Structure 1
Protein backbone atom coordinates (compact mmCIF):
# COMPACT_ATOMS: atom_id res chain seq x y z
CA UNK A 1 0.00 0.00 0.00
CA UNK A 2 2.79 2.38 0.89
CA UNK A 3 4.69 1.41 -2.30
CA UNK A 4 1.67 2.25 -4.42
CA UNK A 5 1.16 5.56 -2.64
CA UNK A 6 4.85 6.41 -3.04
CA UNK A 7 4.66 5.60 -6.75
CA UNK A 8 1.66 7.87 -7.20
CA UNK A 9 3.41 10.59 -5.23
CA UNK A 10 6.55 10.28 -7.41
CA UNK A 11 4.46 10.40 -10.56
CA UNK A 12 2.67 13.47 -9.23
CA UNK A 13 5.94 15.19 -8.42
CA UNK A 14 7.26 14.35 -11.91
CA UNK A 15 4.09 15.74 -13.48
CA UNK A 16 4.39 18.96 -11.48
CA UNK A 17 8.09 19.20 -12.37
CA UNK A 18 7.30 18.82 -16.08
CA UNK A 19 4.59 21.48 -15.77
CA UNK A 20 6.97 23.87 -14.02
CA UNK A 21 9.63 23.19 -16.62
CA UNK A 22 7.09 23.86 -19.35
CA UNK A 23 6.23 27.21 -17.77
CA UNK A 24 9.99 27.98 -17.64
CA UNK A 25 10.18 27.12 -21.36
CA UNK A 26 11.85 23.79 -20.61
CA UNK A 27 10.07 20.70 -21.85
CA UNK A 28 10.16 17.08 -20.75
CA UNK A 29 9.95 16.28 -24.47
CA UNK A 30 13.34 16.04 -26.20
CA UNK A 31 14.17 19.21 -28.14
CA UNK A 32 15.83 18.81 -31.57
CA UNK A 33 19.16 20.67 -31.90
CA UNK A 34 21.20 20.85 -35.11
CA UNK A 35 24.95 21.26 -35.45
CA UNK A 36 27.41 21.22 -38.35
CA UNK A 37 30.40 18.89 -38.56
CA UNK A 38 33.62 20.57 -37.31
CA UNK A 39 31.63 23.53 -35.94
CA UNK A 40 30.20 24.19 -32.46
CA UNK A 41 26.73 24.01 -30.96
CA UNK A 42 25.24 25.23 -27.68
CA UNK A 43 22.55 23.41 -25.70
CA UNK A 44 20.62 26.04 -23.77
CA UNK A 45 18.81 25.51 -20.48
CA UNK A 46 16.00 27.74 -19.28
CA UNK A 47 15.75 27.00 -15.60
CA UNK A 48 15.27 29.87 -13.18
CA UNK A 49 16.24 28.16 -9.91
CA UNK A 50 19.64 28.80 -8.23
CA UNK A 51 22.20 26.31 -9.57
CA UNK A 52 24.31 24.39 -7.06
CA UNK A 53 25.34 21.49 -9.26
CA UNK A 54 25.18 20.58 -12.95
CA UNK A 55 25.35 17.21 -14.68
CA UNK A 56 25.23 16.76 -18.48
CA UNK A 57 24.87 13.28 -19.94
CA UNK A 58 24.93 11.79 -23.41
CA UNK A 59 22.55 8.88 -23.08
CA UNK A 60 23.83 7.38 -19.81
CA UNK A 61 27.43 8.56 -20.21
CA UNK A 62 28.70 11.64 -18.40
CA UNK A 63 29.72 14.60 -20.56
CA UNK A 64 30.62 17.20 -17.94
CA UNK A 65 29.74 17.94 -14.32
CA UNK A 66 30.17 20.71 -11.80
CA UNK A 67 29.20 21.51 -8.22
CA UNK A 68 30.06 24.20 -5.70
CA UNK A 69 32.97 22.19 -4.34
CA UNK A 70 34.70 21.95 -7.74
CA UNK A 71 36.92 24.81 -8.85
CA UNK A 72 36.03 24.17 -12.49
CA UNK A 73 33.81 21.76 -14.47
CA UNK A 74 35.08 18.24 -15.03
CA UNK A 75 34.72 16.88 -18.60
CA UNK A 76 34.80 13.22 -19.58
CA UNK A 77 36.11 11.52 -22.74
CA UNK A 78 35.59 12.07 -25.61
CA UNK A 79 34.57 15.61 -24.59
CA UNK A 80 37.74 16.61 -22.75
CA UNK A 81 38.93 19.99 -24.13
CA UNK A 82 35.90 20.05 -26.45
CA UNK A 83 33.19 21.47 -24.17
CA UNK A 84 32.49 24.65 -22.26
CA UNK A 85 30.03 24.66 -19.37
CA UNK A 86 28.51 27.94 -18.21
CA UNK A 87 28.12 27.32 -14.47
CA UNK A 88 25.79 30.31 -14.11
CA UNK A 89 23.18 29.23 -16.67
CA UNK A 90 24.03 25.55 -17.16
CA UNK A 91 24.41 26.02 -20.95
CA UNK A 92 26.73 23.51 -22.64
CA UNK A 93 28.79 24.28 -25.77
CA UNK A 94 30.37 21.44 -27.75
CA UNK A 95 33.23 22.26 -30.13
CA UNK A 96 34.60 20.42 -33.19
CA UNK A 97 31.45 18.39 -33.69
CA UNK A 98 31.71 14.92 -35.18
CA UNK A 99 29.02 12.54 -36.35
CA UNK A 100 29.66 10.42 -33.24
CA UNK A 101 28.41 13.34 -31.09
CA UNK A 102 24.92 12.82 -32.45
CA UNK A 103 22.77 11.45 -29.64
CA UNK A 104 20.25 12.26 -26.90
CA UNK A 105 21.51 14.62 -24.16
CA UNK A 106 20.03 15.60 -20.84
CA UNK A 107 20.99 17.98 -18.07
CA UNK A 108 20.28 17.98 -14.36
CA UNK A 109 20.47 21.32 -12.55
CA UNK A 110 20.69 21.17 -8.75
CA UNK A 111 19.64 17.51 -9.07
CA UNK A 112 16.07 18.61 -9.83
CA UNK A 113 15.61 20.21 -13.22
CA UNK A 114 15.78 17.84 -16.17
CA UNK A 115 15.98 19.01 -19.80
CA UNK A 116 16.44 16.68 -22.80
CA UNK A 117 17.87 17.37 -26.25
CA UNK A 118 18.37 15.34 -29.40
CA UNK A 119 21.49 16.53 -31.23
CA UNK A 120 21.71 16.04 -35.00
CA UNK A 121 25.17 16.57 -36.54
CA UNK A 122 24.96 17.43 -40.24
CA UNK A 123 27.61 17.56 -42.96
CA UNK A 124 27.80 20.90 -44.86
CA UNK A 125 25.45 20.91 -47.83
CA UNK A 126 27.01 20.41 -51.28
CA UNK A 127 25.95 22.28 -54.42
CA UNK A 128 23.10 20.45 -56.16
CA UNK A 129 23.49 19.31 -59.76
CA UNK A 130 20.92 20.14 -62.44
CA UNK A 131 20.12 18.10 -65.53
CA UNK A 132 17.27 18.35 -67.99
CA UNK A 133 15.42 16.49 -70.70
CA UNK A 134 12.96 17.77 -73.29
CA UNK A 135 10.00 16.56 -75.29
CA UNK A 136 7.94 18.19 -78.01
CA UNK A 137 5.97 20.12 -75.35
CA UNK A 138 7.90 20.26 -72.05
CA UNK A 139 11.33 20.71 -70.53
CA UNK A 140 11.89 18.75 -67.31
CA UNK A 141 14.62 20.02 -64.99
CA UNK A 142 15.83 17.74 -62.20
CA UNK A 143 17.73 18.81 -59.08
CA UNK A 144 20.01 16.16 -57.61
CA UNK A 145 22.25 15.88 -54.56
CA UNK A 146 25.68 14.27 -55.20
CA UNK A 147 25.60 10.53 -54.54
CA UNK A 148 28.46 10.71 -52.05
CA UNK A 149 26.39 12.94 -49.73
CA UNK A 150 24.24 11.00 -47.26
CA UNK A 151 23.97 13.21 -44.15
CA UNK A 152 20.31 13.41 -43.06
CA UNK A 153 18.82 13.44 -46.54
CA UNK A 154 15.38 13.43 -44.92
CA UNK A 155 15.98 16.96 -43.60
CA UNK A 156 16.68 18.44 -47.05
CA UNK A 157 14.00 20.57 -48.69
CA UNK A 158 13.83 21.75 -52.31
CA UNK A 159 12.65 25.06 -53.72
CA UNK A 160 12.83 26.66 -57.17
CA UNK A 161 13.40 30.17 -58.42
CA UNK A 162 12.28 30.91 -61.98
CA UNK A 163 9.78 32.90 -64.04
CA UNK A 164 7.34 30.02 -64.53
CA UNK A 165 4.23 29.51 -62.40
CA UNK A 166 5.09 25.81 -62.40
CA UNK A 167 8.18 26.62 -60.32
CA UNK A 168 6.15 28.70 -57.90
CA UNK A 169 3.58 25.93 -57.51
CA UNK A 170 6.18 23.23 -56.91
CA UNK A 171 6.31 22.33 -53.21
CA UNK A 172 9.46 20.56 -52.03
CA UNK A 173 9.84 18.78 -55.35
CA UNK A 174 13.20 17.79 -56.81
CA UNK A 175 12.02 18.40 -60.38
CA UNK A 176 9.83 20.78 -62.38
CA UNK A 177 8.39 20.76 -65.90
CA UNK A 178 8.20 23.93 -68.00
CA UNK A 179 6.42 24.53 -71.29
CA UNK A 180 8.86 24.39 -74.19
CA UNK A 181 7.43 27.53 -75.76
CA UNK A 182 8.54 29.53 -72.69
CA UNK A 183 11.35 32.06 -72.91
CA UNK A 184 14.37 29.76 -73.09
CA UNK A 185 16.80 32.59 -72.33
CA UNK A 186 15.55 32.60 -68.73
CA UNK A 187 17.56 31.05 -65.89
CA UNK A 188 16.13 28.48 -63.50
CA UNK A 189 17.57 27.93 -60.03
CA UNK A 190 17.24 25.04 -57.57
CA UNK A 191 17.78 25.70 -53.85
CA UNK A 192 18.34 22.91 -51.36
CA UNK A 193 18.21 23.64 -47.63
CA UNK A 194 18.28 22.00 -44.23
CA UNK A 195 17.78 23.53 -40.76
CA UNK A 196 21.32 24.98 -40.86
CA UNK A 197 22.20 26.08 -44.40
CA UNK A 198 21.28 26.24 -48.06
CA UNK A 199 22.98 25.86 -51.44
CA UNK A 200 21.83 26.70 -54.97
CA UNK A 201 22.69 25.88 -58.58
CA UNK A 202 21.21 27.22 -61.81
CA UNK A 203 21.10 26.70 -65.56
CA UNK A 204 19.74 28.50 -68.62
CA UNK A 205 16.80 26.67 -70.19
CA UNK A 206 18.25 27.14 -73.69
CA UNK A 207 20.99 24.63 -72.80
CA UNK A 208 18.32 21.94 -72.48
CA UNK A 209 17.22 22.24 -76.11
CA UNK A 210 19.47 21.76 -79.18
CA UNK A 211 20.16 25.10 -80.88
CA UNK A 212 18.66 24.31 -84.28
CA UNK A 213 19.26 27.80 -85.61
CA UNK A 214 22.95 27.57 -84.88
CA UNK A 215 23.16 24.15 -86.52
CA UNK A 216 21.28 25.47 -89.55
CA UNK A 217 23.68 28.41 -89.81
CA UNK A 218 26.67 26.07 -89.80
CA UNK A 219 25.10 23.91 -92.52
CA UNK A 220 24.18 26.90 -94.66
CA UNK A 221 27.66 28.38 -94.27
CA UNK A 222 29.25 25.08 -95.31
CA UNK A 223 27.01 24.82 -98.36
CA UNK A 224 27.76 28.41 -99.36
CA UNK A 225 31.48 27.77 -98.98
CA UNK A 226 31.28 24.75 -101.28
CA UNK A 227 29.22 26.66 -103.85
CA UNK A 228 31.61 29.65 -103.81
CA UNK A 229 34.61 27.35 -104.11
CA UNK A 230 33.02 25.52 -107.06
CA UNK A 231 32.23 28.81 -108.76
CA UNK A 232 35.79 30.02 -108.23
CA UNK A 233 37.20 26.82 -109.73
CA UNK A 234 34.79 27.03 -112.68
CA UNK A 235 35.65 30.70 -113.33
CA UNK A 236 39.34 29.94 -113.07
CA UNK A 237 39.11 27.08 -115.52
CA UNK A 238 36.99 29.10 -117.92
CA UNK A 239 39.44 32.02 -117.81
CA UNK A 240 42.38 29.67 -118.23
CA UNK A 241 40.83 27.97 -121.23
CA UNK A 242 39.83 31.31 -122.70
CA UNK A 243 43.35 32.68 -122.42
CA UNK A 244 44.76 29.47 -123.86
CA UNK A 245 42.35 29.62 -126.80
CA UNK A 246 43.18 33.24 -127.53
CA UNK A 247 46.91 32.49 -127.41
CA UNK A 248 46.52 29.59 -129.83
CA UNK A 249 44.42 31.70 -132.16
CA UNK A 250 46.99 34.52 -132.07
CA UNK A 251 49.81 32.14 -132.88
CA UNK A 252 47.87 30.66 -135.78
CA UNK A 253 47.08 34.10 -137.17
CA UNK A 254 50.75 35.07 -136.93
CA UNK A 255 51.77 31.94 -138.82
CA UNK A 256 49.13 32.57 -141.47
CA UNK A 257 50.30 36.17 -141.86
CA UNK A 258 53.87 35.07 -142.40
CA UNK A 259 52.85 32.48 -144.90
CA UNK A 260 50.85 35.02 -146.90
CA UNK A 261 53.67 37.62 -146.94
CA UNK A 262 56.02 37.10 -149.98
CA UNK A 263 58.93 38.75 -148.24
CA UNK A 264 58.73 36.31 -145.40
CA UNK A 265 59.90 33.57 -147.71
CA UNK A 266 63.05 35.54 -148.64
CA UNK A 267 63.83 36.34 -145.04
CA UNK A 268 62.64 33.43 -142.99
CA UNK A 269 62.31 34.02 -139.36
CA UNK A 270 65.41 32.64 -137.59
Structure 2
Protein backbone atom coordinates (compact mmCIF):
# COMPACT_ATOMS: atom_id res chain seq x y z
CA UNK A 1 0.00 0.00 0.00
CA UNK A 2 2.84 2.34 0.89
CA UNK A 3 4.63 1.58 -2.40
CA UNK A 4 1.48 2.41 -4.40
CA UNK A 5 1.18 5.76 -2.63
CA UNK A 6 4.80 6.61 -3.37
CA UNK A 7 4.37 5.56 -7.01
CA UNK A 8 1.27 7.76 -7.39
CA UNK A 9 3.10 10.72 -5.88
CA UNK A 10 6.03 10.24 -8.25
CA UNK A 11 3.68 10.06 -11.24
CA UNK A 12 2.04 13.38 -10.31
CA UNK A 13 5.45 14.92 -9.68
CA UNK A 14 6.68 13.75 -13.09
CA UNK A 15 3.69 15.32 -14.84
CA UNK A 16 4.26 18.60 -12.99
CA UNK A 17 7.98 18.75 -13.71
CA UNK A 18 7.42 17.99 -17.41
CA UNK A 19 4.95 20.91 -17.72
CA UNK A 20 1.85 18.70 -18.10
CA UNK A 21 -1.38 18.82 -16.10
CA UNK A 22 -3.03 15.66 -14.83
CA UNK A 23 -4.84 13.31 -17.24
CA UNK A 24 -8.17 14.69 -18.35
CA UNK A 25 -10.83 14.07 -21.01
CA UNK A 26 -12.52 17.22 -22.24
CA UNK A 27 -15.64 17.25 -24.42
CA UNK A 28 -15.31 19.98 -27.04
CA UNK A 29 -18.69 20.87 -28.55
CA UNK A 30 -19.03 22.52 -31.94
CA UNK A 31 -21.70 23.19 -34.56
CA UNK A 32 -21.41 22.28 -38.22
CA UNK A 33 -19.81 25.18 -40.16
CA UNK A 34 -18.76 26.64 -36.82
CA UNK A 35 -15.41 27.03 -35.07
CA UNK A 36 -13.58 25.00 -32.42
CA UNK A 37 -10.65 25.99 -30.20
CA UNK A 38 -8.60 23.35 -28.34
CA UNK A 39 -6.20 24.68 -25.69
CA UNK A 40 -3.95 22.19 -23.86
CA UNK A 41 -2.49 23.22 -20.52
CA UNK A 42 1.31 23.47 -20.82
CA UNK A 43 3.67 25.67 -18.83
CA UNK A 44 7.09 25.14 -20.46
CA UNK A 45 8.51 26.40 -23.73
CA UNK A 46 7.31 24.39 -26.72
CA UNK A 47 9.98 23.12 -29.09
CA UNK A 48 7.84 20.69 -31.10
CA UNK A 49 4.15 19.89 -31.33
CA UNK A 50 1.94 17.47 -33.24
CA UNK A 51 -1.90 17.39 -33.33
CA UNK A 52 -3.94 14.37 -34.46
CA UNK A 53 -7.64 13.62 -34.94
CA UNK A 54 -8.56 9.94 -34.64
CA UNK A 55 -4.96 9.13 -35.51
CA UNK A 56 -4.84 11.36 -38.63
CA UNK A 57 -2.21 14.10 -38.73
CA UNK A 58 -3.70 17.58 -38.38
CA UNK A 59 -0.80 20.00 -37.77
CA UNK A 60 2.90 19.72 -36.94
CA UNK A 61 5.83 21.95 -36.07
CA UNK A 62 9.41 21.18 -34.98
CA UNK A 63 11.70 24.03 -34.02
CA UNK A 64 14.53 24.54 -36.56
CA UNK A 65 13.59 21.31 -38.32
CA UNK A 66 10.01 21.13 -39.61
CA UNK A 67 8.17 24.38 -40.45
CA UNK A 68 4.55 24.68 -39.40
CA UNK A 69 2.47 22.48 -41.68
CA UNK A 70 -1.15 21.31 -41.96
CA UNK A 71 -2.25 18.00 -43.44
CA UNK A 72 -4.92 16.76 -45.82
CA UNK A 73 -8.46 18.04 -45.30
CA UNK A 74 -7.35 20.28 -42.43
CA UNK A 75 -5.43 22.69 -44.64
CA UNK A 76 -6.83 26.21 -45.09
CA UNK A 77 -9.16 25.85 -42.12
CA UNK A 78 -6.78 25.14 -39.23
CA UNK A 79 -4.48 27.43 -37.24
CA UNK A 80 -1.86 26.28 -34.71
CA UNK A 81 -0.34 28.63 -32.14
CA UNK A 82 3.20 27.29 -31.57
CA UNK A 83 3.63 29.44 -28.45
CA UNK A 84 0.62 28.13 -26.49
CA UNK A 85 -0.12 24.92 -28.41
CA UNK A 86 -3.76 25.95 -29.09
CA UNK A 87 -5.43 24.59 -32.20
CA UNK A 88 -8.27 26.45 -33.96
CA UNK A 89 -10.41 24.74 -36.62
CA UNK A 90 -13.05 26.46 -38.77
CA UNK A 91 -15.80 25.29 -41.14
CA UNK A 92 -16.29 22.18 -39.04
CA UNK A 93 -18.00 19.07 -40.40
CA UNK A 94 -19.55 15.99 -38.88
CA UNK A 95 -16.37 14.13 -39.90
CA UNK A 96 -14.45 16.33 -37.43
CA UNK A 97 -16.04 14.54 -34.47
CA UNK A 98 -13.76 12.26 -32.49
CA UNK A 99 -10.70 12.23 -30.28
CA UNK A 100 -8.05 14.94 -30.66
CA UNK A 101 -4.62 14.19 -29.18
CA UNK A 102 -1.52 16.35 -28.99
CA UNK A 103 2.16 15.56 -28.48
CA UNK A 104 4.28 18.35 -27.04
CA UNK A 105 8.05 18.15 -26.82
CA UNK A 106 7.94 14.48 -27.86
CA UNK A 107 5.50 13.51 -25.08
CA UNK A 108 1.81 12.63 -25.40
CA UNK A 109 -0.18 15.29 -23.54
CA UNK A 110 -2.49 13.83 -20.84
CA UNK A 111 -5.41 16.00 -21.95
CA UNK A 112 -7.60 14.43 -24.63
CA UNK A 113 -10.27 16.45 -26.45
CA UNK A 114 -13.42 14.73 -27.69
CA UNK A 115 -14.95 16.73 -30.52
CA UNK A 116 -18.74 16.47 -30.65
CA UNK A 117 -21.09 18.19 -33.10
CA UNK A 118 -24.39 19.54 -31.73
CA UNK A 119 -27.16 21.69 -33.16
CA UNK A 120 -28.16 25.15 -32.05
CA UNK A 121 -31.03 25.33 -29.59
CA UNK A 122 -34.47 26.09 -31.08
CA UNK A 123 -36.57 29.05 -30.00
CA UNK A 124 -38.36 27.99 -26.80
CA UNK A 125 -41.87 28.74 -25.61
CA UNK A 126 -43.26 28.93 -22.06
CA UNK A 127 -45.91 26.22 -21.62
CA UNK A 128 -48.24 26.47 -18.58
CA UNK A 129 -49.59 23.39 -16.85
CA UNK A 130 -52.51 23.13 -16.77
CA UNK A 131 -52.88 24.86 -20.13
CA UNK A 132 -55.84 26.82 -18.72
CA UNK A 133 -53.83 28.20 -15.80
CA UNK A 134 -55.89 31.05 -14.32
CA UNK A 135 -56.09 33.30 -11.26
CA UNK A 136 -58.53 31.05 -9.39
CA UNK A 137 -55.91 28.28 -9.02
CA UNK A 138 -53.39 28.16 -6.18
CA UNK A 139 -50.40 27.32 -8.38
CA UNK A 140 -49.29 26.43 -11.91
CA UNK A 141 -46.21 24.85 -13.49
CA UNK A 142 -44.30 26.57 -16.30
CA UNK A 143 -42.13 24.57 -18.70
CA UNK A 144 -39.45 25.88 -21.09
CA UNK A 145 -40.06 23.73 -24.16
CA UNK A 146 -40.47 23.86 -27.94
CA UNK A 147 -43.53 23.92 -30.12
CA UNK A 148 -44.68 20.91 -32.09
CA UNK A 149 -43.54 17.29 -31.79
CA UNK A 150 -39.80 17.93 -32.14
CA UNK A 151 -37.18 17.36 -29.46
CA UNK A 152 -33.88 18.88 -28.38
CA UNK A 153 -31.73 15.72 -28.21
CA UNK A 154 -29.36 16.84 -30.97
CA UNK A 155 -28.83 20.17 -29.19
CA UNK A 156 -27.89 18.69 -25.80
CA UNK A 157 -26.46 19.53 -23.34
CA UNK A 158 -28.96 22.31 -22.63
CA UNK A 159 -29.29 24.53 -19.59
CA UNK A 160 -32.40 26.59 -18.78
CA UNK A 161 -32.69 30.09 -17.34
CA UNK A 162 -35.74 32.09 -16.25
CA UNK A 163 -36.43 35.80 -16.09
CA UNK A 164 -39.07 37.53 -13.99
CA UNK A 165 -39.91 40.88 -15.54
CA UNK A 166 -37.68 43.51 -14.00
CA UNK A 167 -35.30 40.90 -12.56
CA UNK A 168 -32.18 39.04 -13.75
CA UNK A 169 -31.68 35.71 -15.52
CA UNK A 170 -31.42 32.77 -13.10
CA UNK A 171 -30.62 29.13 -13.88
CA UNK A 172 -33.55 27.15 -12.44
CA UNK A 173 -34.05 24.10 -14.65
CA UNK A 174 -36.55 23.32 -17.37
CA UNK A 175 -39.65 23.57 -15.12
CA UNK A 176 -40.65 26.05 -12.43
CA UNK A 177 -43.74 26.47 -10.23
CA UNK A 178 -45.53 29.76 -9.68
CA UNK A 179 -48.07 30.34 -6.87
CA UNK A 180 -50.88 32.76 -6.19
CA UNK A 181 -49.25 33.88 -2.94
CA UNK A 182 -45.67 34.14 -4.18
CA UNK A 183 -45.86 35.69 -7.64
CA UNK A 184 -48.49 38.44 -7.55
CA UNK A 185 -45.83 41.09 -8.21
CA UNK A 186 -44.44 39.42 -11.36
CA UNK A 187 -46.10 40.48 -14.61
CA UNK A 188 -44.40 38.06 -17.05
CA UNK A 189 -42.04 35.08 -17.17
CA UNK A 190 -39.47 34.46 -19.92
CA UNK A 191 -37.24 31.40 -20.38
CA UNK A 192 -33.96 30.83 -22.19
CA UNK A 193 -32.32 27.71 -23.64
CA UNK A 194 -28.51 27.58 -23.77
CA UNK A 195 -25.95 25.08 -24.98
CA UNK A 196 -22.19 25.41 -25.66
CA UNK A 197 -22.78 26.76 -29.19
CA UNK A 198 -25.96 28.88 -28.94
CA UNK A 199 -28.73 30.42 -26.85
CA UNK A 200 -32.29 31.62 -27.54
CA UNK A 201 -35.08 33.04 -25.41
CA UNK A 202 -38.87 32.77 -25.48
CA UNK A 203 -41.48 35.47 -25.73
CA UNK A 204 -42.69 36.75 -22.33
CA UNK A 205 -45.58 34.77 -20.83
CA UNK A 206 -48.24 36.66 -18.85
CA UNK A 207 -48.59 35.64 -15.22
CA UNK A 208 -52.26 34.83 -14.37
CA UNK A 209 -51.58 35.63 -10.70
CA UNK A 210 -50.26 39.13 -11.37
CA UNK A 211 -51.99 41.93 -9.46
CA UNK A 212 -51.11 45.38 -10.83
CA UNK A 213 -50.33 48.14 -8.37
CA UNK A 214 -52.93 50.92 -8.78
CA UNK A 215 -51.37 54.40 -8.62
CA UNK A 216 -52.99 56.88 -6.20
CA UNK A 217 -55.76 59.08 -7.65
CA UNK A 218 -55.35 62.81 -8.26
CA UNK A 219 -57.98 63.53 -5.61
CA UNK A 220 -56.04 61.52 -3.03
CA UNK A 221 -52.77 63.23 -3.93
CA UNK A 222 -54.40 66.68 -3.62
CA UNK A 223 -56.14 65.72 -0.37
CA UNK A 224 -52.80 64.69 1.15
CA UNK A 225 -50.74 67.51 -0.34
CA UNK A 226 -52.82 70.52 0.74
CA UNK A 227 -52.69 69.84 4.53
CA UNK A 228 -48.95 69.16 4.22
CA UNK A 229 -48.38 72.44 2.38
CA UNK A 230 -50.43 74.37 4.97
CA UNK A 231 -48.54 72.74 7.83
CA UNK A 232 -45.19 73.59 6.24
CA UNK A 233 -46.29 77.21 5.61
CA UNK A 234 -47.41 77.63 9.23
CA UNK A 235 -44.15 76.14 10.41
CA UNK A 236 -42.10 78.56 8.28
CA UNK A 237 -44.20 81.51 9.50
CA UNK A 238 -43.78 80.44 13.11
CA UNK A 239 -40.03 80.25 12.61
CA UNK A 240 -39.74 83.82 11.36
CA UNK A 241 -42.12 85.12 14.08
CA UNK A 242 -40.59 83.03 16.83
CA UNK A 243 -39.25 86.03 18.83
CA UNK A 244 -42.63 87.78 18.98
CA UNK A 245 -44.39 84.53 19.84
CA UNK A 246 -41.91 83.77 22.63
CA UNK A 247 -42.25 87.31 23.97
CA UNK A 248 -46.05 87.07 23.99
CA UNK A 249 -46.00 83.66 25.67
CA UNK A 250 -43.66 84.92 28.42
CA UNK A 251 -45.99 87.79 29.55
CA UNK A 252 -48.49 87.49 32.45
CA UNK A 253 -52.24 87.65 31.72
CA UNK A 254 -52.51 91.20 33.20
CA UNK A 255 -49.73 92.43 30.90
CA UNK A 256 -51.58 91.12 27.85
CA UNK A 257 -54.64 93.30 28.65
CA UNK A 258 -54.53 96.79 27.06
CA UNK A 259 -54.57 99.81 29.40
CA UNK A 260 -56.05 103.30 29.18
CA UNK A 261 -53.96 106.45 29.29
CA UNK A 262 -54.57 107.02 33.05
CA UNK A 263 -53.65 103.48 33.96
CA UNK A 264 -57.18 102.12 34.41
CA UNK A 265 -58.05 98.87 32.72
CA UNK A 266 -60.45 99.14 29.82
CA UNK A 267 -63.47 96.93 29.89
CA UNK A 268 -65.13 95.73 26.67
CA UNK A 269 -68.51 96.50 28.25
CA UNK A 270 -67.62 99.91 29.70
CA UNK A 271 -66.69 102.85 27.54
CA UNK A 272 -64.74 104.29 30.49
CA UNK A 273 -64.00 107.96 31.16
CA UNK A 274 -63.44 108.84 27.56
CA UNK A 275 -66.91 107.72 26.61
CA UNK A 276 -68.55 109.80 29.40
CA UNK A 277 -66.56 112.87 28.35
CA UNK A 278 -67.73 112.60 24.77
CA UNK A 279 -71.33 112.25 25.89
CA UNK A 280 -71.15 115.37 28.14
CA UNK A 281 -69.56 117.45 25.45
CA UNK A 282 -72.31 116.61 23.04
CA UNK A 283 -75.04 117.68 25.58
CA UNK A 284 -73.32 121.01 26.35
CA UNK A 285 -73.12 121.81 22.69
CA UNK A 286 -76.87 121.64 22.38
Report the TM-score when normalising by structure 1: 0.57
Distance (whole Å) between structure 2 residues aligned to residue 12 and residue 189 of structure 1? 51
Cα deviation digits, residues 49-80 of structure 1 (max 9, x gap): 34332211123222222224333313233x23
**Which position in structure 2 is the counterpart of 1:29?**
24
The CA distance in 2 between the partners of 1:181 and 1:47, in whole Å, is 51
What RMSD in Å do the two structures reach over aligned CA positions?
Answer: 3.7
CA contact 1:83–1:95 (8 Å) conserved in 2: yes
The answer on whether the counterparts of 1:38 and 1:96 sit within 8 Å (CA) in structure 2 is: yes
CA contact (8 A) 2:122 2:146 kept: yes
CA distance in 1, matches of 2:175, 2:32: 25
Inter-partner Cα distance in structure 2 for 1:145 and 1:25:
44
CA 88–197 in structure 1, closer or farther in 2 if over 3 Å, else same: same
Question: Would you say the 8 A contact 2:100–2:112 is kept in 1?
Answer: yes
Q: What pairs with 1:132-147 in structure 2 (closer than 5 Å)? A: 132=128, 133=131, 134=133, 136-137=136-137, 138-145=139-146, 147=150
Q: Is the 8 A contact 1:139 1:180 kept in 2?
A: no
Correspondence 1:116 to 2:117 = no
CA distance in structure 2 between the aligned counterparts of 1:185 and 1:162, rounded to whole angstroms: 6
Using the size of structure 2 for normalisation, the TM-score is 0.55
Alignment match, 1:220: none
Measure the CA separation in 2 of the matches of 1:126 and 1:186: 25
Q: Does 1:98 align with 2:93?
A: yes
Cα pair distance change 1:176/1:199, threshold 3 Å: farther
Q: Is the 8 A contact 2:59 2:68 kept in 1?
A: no
SS class of match (2:15): helix
Number of equivalent positions: 193
Which residue number corresponds to residue 252 of structure 2?
Answer: none
5+ residue gaps in structure 1? 1-9, 209-270
Residue in structure 1 matching 2:15, options 1, 18, 32 = 18
Please show how residues 1-270 of structure 1 align to structure 2 within 5 Å: 15-20=12-17, 24=19, 26-67=21-62, 68-77=64-73, 79-114=74-109, 115-132=111-128, 133=131, 134=133, 136-137=136-137, 138-145=139-146, 147=150, 149-153=152-156, 155-162=157-164, 171-179=172-180, 183=184, 186-205=187-206
Q: Secondary structure of 2:201's partner?
A: strand
CA gap of 1:160–1:74, structure 2 versus 1, over 3 A, is closer
Say if 1:139 and 1:32 are closer, same or farther in 2 by CA, change over 3 A. same
Q: More helix per residue: 1 or 2?
A: 1
CA–CA separation in structure 1 for the residues paired with 2:20 and 2:28: 15
3-state DSSP of counterpart to 2:67? coil
